[in-house]
């Protein structure tokens, strides 16, 4: 902090370091009214200063609160099973829907393959008919005038 004779005031930068947030976050919170702040003439013009005591509670809470909770293996196993089941439920539902779509598409492919087979059989039959007609002997008059 700059030495302005106000040891209970923090700059935006000092506040950001204390709270482990960015300077922009401190500025937004000042603007939103979450923090008390006042502009004071500093070495480079007006500068925001925040009363230090408004952050004492947050620092105390951070240092005082300690949470330790022992979890049994059975509780951990149940929690993991629930988490896995919750994660798998939408995947199973989507997989089922995809299987149905695949089944529909496979039946469409089968129909298309049958239609193609019928088409090829018809083409082969027509080609044989044409070939058979060309092999038949032509009448005298057809050969004469052709």
Question: Does the predicted TM-score (pTM) go above 0.95?
Answer: no
Sign of CA dihedral 57, 59, 63, 67: positive
Neighbours of 58 (CB within 10 A): 11
Q: Which long-range contacts (CB under 8 A, 24 or more apart) does 76-85 make?
A: none
**Mean pLDDT (whole number) for 111-124:** 95
Distances in whole angstroms, Cα of residue 20 to Cα of each of 3, 31, 65, 88, 146: 22, 19, 17, 37, 102
Query: Domain limits of the chain?
Result: 9-64
Considering all CA atoms of the chain, what is the largest pairwise distance in Å, rounded to the nearest integer?
A: 130
pLDDT digits (tens, 9 = 90+) for 12-63: 999 999 888 999 999 999 999 989 999 988 777 888 899 988 877 654 555 5
pLDDT digits (tens, 9 = 90+) for 68-107: 778 888 998 999 999 999 999 999 999 999 999 999 999 9
Sign of CA dihedral 89, 95, 101, 104: negative
DSSP SS3 for 37: coil
DSSP state of 36: -
């Amino acid at each position: 902090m700059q030495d302005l004779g106000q040891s209970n005031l923090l700059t935006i930068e000092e506040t950001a370091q204390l709270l482990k947030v960015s300077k922009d976050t401190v500025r937004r919170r000042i603007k939103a009214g979450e923090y008390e702040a006042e502009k004071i003439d500093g070495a480079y013009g007006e500068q925001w200063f925040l009363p230090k005591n408004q952050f004492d509670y947050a620092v105390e809470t951070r240092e005082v609160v300690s949470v330790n909770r022992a979890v049994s293996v059975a509780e951990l196993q149940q929690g993991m099973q629930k988490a896995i089941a919750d994660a798998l439920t939408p995947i199973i539902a989507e997989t089922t829907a995809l299987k149905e779509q695949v089944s529909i598409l496979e039946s469409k492919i089968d129909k298309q393959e049958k239609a193609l087979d019928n088409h090829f059989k018809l083409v082969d039959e027509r080609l044989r008919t044409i070939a058979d007609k060309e092999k038949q002997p032509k009448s005298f008059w057809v050969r004469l005038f052709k």
